Amino acid sequence: MTTSPALLNRELGLIEFNRRVLAQAEDAHVPLLERLKFLCIVSSNLDEFFEVRVAWLKACQRLTPSMVMPDGLNASQSLEQVSHHAHALVERQYALMREVIFPALSQEGIHFVRRAEWSPEVKAWIHAYFHNDVMPVLTPIGLDPSHPFPKLLNKSLNFAIELEGRDAFGRSSGIAIVQAPRILPRVIQLPADLAGGPNHFVFLSSILHAHLNELFLGMVVKGVYQFRLTRDSELTVEEDELKNLRTALQGELRHRQYGEAVRLEIADNCPEHMEAFLLSQFSLSKADIYRVEGPVNLVRLMQVPDLVDRPDLKYPPFTPGFPAPLTKKHDLLAAIRKQDILLHHPYQSFQPVLDFLNIAATDPNVVAIKMTVYRTGTESALMESLIAAARTGKQVTVVVELMARFDEEANIGWASRLEDAGAHVVYGVYGYKIHAKMLMVVRREEGHLRRYIHLGTGNYHPRTARLYTDFGLLTCNPDIASDVNDIFTQITGLGKMGELRHLLQSPFSLHPGMMAAIAREADHARAGRPATIIAKMNSLLEPKIIDALYAASQAGVKIQLIVRGVCALRPGVAGLSDHIEVRSVIGRFLEHTRIFYFLNDRQENVFIASADWMGRNFFRRIETCTPVLDPKLKRRVIKEGLRLYLADNVNAWMMQSDGSYRHKNPRAKPHAAQDDLLLELAGTHT
């Protein structure tokens, strides 16, 4: 394994990524309501960061305190650094909200109305709203021996109320807790005629602050303090106790909301004694508390841009385009038979994928459909097509990944509906998440069966296909089709893994395949031949791959990495990684494509994949990595997925050897890859 100075800390890399996301909210060139969204995305990202990564570090600190991480730090040292950097990030985020975003919104007529600004008419409306829509669902809990501190839901909005006096029963505990149910909106739009405009909002927390005293008649409310608790949300299912994964997961999901506490967010007006009381209830330390001046949950502000009809403050809408083979109205399957078709989302439409499955569901010549499902959402036309196909008697096999983090409940629901419709539902291989994106349609044609394939870098999720950048390949290449069929057979059945013709697959051939390709470039460089590696992914963490890249750099290979999120490799270190550069592109769309390019003595081997270069993707997941065989499509992937991003000088950040990033400012003509692709591939702009 690489010595510790050569690897960077994963958790600090994630915080650094969120600094780059926050920079989008700070950028005055980004439309104002989109800046608000980026502000919210940081909070959403941090929620998952604490629920998963910080929770994991705390578990390591408890169970294996002496264990040294790949970067050379133990869990306690990592947590100390994480706390320092996370607190600084949150302070910067809230300062931006208060001092820049909210004032700019106010100038545009979008107001978050403070209690001191409520007119008598607004006060009356809010009072009625509280009594009609809020108070009936509130349950105040006064703390005493009969009412211990309640078990609070993960990430719920709560209020600690400091009281004085005695109630009707003579009780005087001095503290009560009120939890705001999740059915209540956190941001309420005021009637335009009362507020003086259509875009005036009030926070639920402000309404509760103003009226919670009505829940404690005859007592004096000395203070109301909002707080929010984040808990460990990782699910654990023990294999030796497992009989039915779905049943076991359904049981675990009920407990997710009550995992170990990992973070406490409190309002800035909370006094020290109340802070200490709350920390003691959750067994947290001072370092785990995040005191904020503003709402304790900015994620709920994400709904505001949807409520505000101001297109001038949002990204211009666009209509996704179609690749040339699909621009004319003709038989989709005939087009696939004629040539492989590459889809580049979101610039090109996801509709061909929906059409592909819908055609398969209704075509009487289609005899079988097989598909993997990782994330697809609670509403999905794709899943409805599969259910319809199963009901007509087609052989429908769906590999549903029940352990897709935070999508478990939705996937369990789809699994039940699919089984009820007569589909074969398989939960994959225990211990290996099914992360591959594969769809196979088997059709009877002219006396034989032909297999049509879709392989992608992203999920079968129409909504995220408008927000994430991904490639999808439609093909009926017999060898690729045979590989996909073999992988499905391997997942649903039992038996040894055979050798695939073109695809690389985790956990078997992908890691050795990438190691061999990297080593081959190093051999070319040592022999004096041009040698280049370009790779684009979400995360780069796997130590052996990083070692191999270091060795290739030292052999003279030019290595350009486009890593959106966390990267443990140190670029530009003399004698170690002189020939490696790492950039991150953060823009309107979430960069999600995985592309691996190897010059290979000018043969140019190009792959698109479902996998990042992480240990989990190589060894604990079932992934696919697909070579792009068609020369024209290969040129498209190189240009659209790699070259344009290497030329980006607007949204690109260059990674430094210490793990920090510098924004790549344009010195000449600005080039933004996402804007260029919208102009080149999308349809009409409105």
Query: Of 143, 185, 171, which is closest to residue 295 (Cα–Cα)?
Result: 185
Strand partners, 469: 591
Q: With H, G, I as helix, E, B as strand and everything else as coil, classify residue 303.
A: helix
623, two tokens: 């992934």
pLDDT at 447: 87
Backbone angles phi, psi at 261, to 5 degrees: -70, 140
pLDDT at 342: 98
With contact defined as beta carbons under 8 Å apart, do 584 and 652 qualify? yes
Helices of type H across 64-146: 75-96, 102-107, 120-129
CA-CA distances (angstroms) from residue 565 to 11, 60, 549?
Answer: 11, 23, 18
**Strands 200-203 vs 111-112: parallel, antiparallel or unpaired:** parallel
With contact defined as beta carbons under 8 Å apart, do 86 and 53 qualify? no
Q: Is 196 left (phi over 0), alpha (psi -120 to 50) or beta?
A: left
Mean pLDDT of 15-30: 97
Task: Give yes or no for a cis peptide into 512 (omega within 30° of 0).
Answer: no
pLDDT at 258: 63
> Active-site residue among 111, 200, 435, 511?
435
Helices 55-63/75-96 angle, 10° precision: 160
Q: Enumerate residues 6+ apart whose C-beta is below 8 A from 165.
A: 172, 218, 219, 220
Q: Is the pLDDT of residue 366 over 60?
A: yes
Calculate the CA 462 to chain-centre distance.
15
CA-CA distances (angstroms) from residue 471 to 199, 223, 345?
Answer: 38, 54, 6
Structure confidence by residue, pLDDT tens digits, 224-261: 999 999 999 864 444 443 344 444 444 444 554 568 99
Q: Decide which of 153 and 641 is more confident.
A: 641
d(CA 666, CA 621) in angstroms, rounded, equals 40
Q: Is the pLDDT of residue 404 over 60?
A: no
Look over the chain and give the mean of its residue pLDDT values, rounded to a whole number: 90
Catalytic residue status for 435: yes
Q: Is the pLDDT of residue 575 over 80?
A: yes
Range name among 23-27, 250-254, 640-644 with the lowest pLDDT average: 250-254
**Share of residues in the chain with pLDDT > 70 (%):** 92
pLDDT at 171: 62
Range name among 96-110, 162-176, 672-686 with the lowest pLDDT average: 162-176
Structure confidence by residue, pLDDT tens digits, 513-527: 999 999 999 999 999
| Strands (E) located in 253-310 | 261-267, 289-292
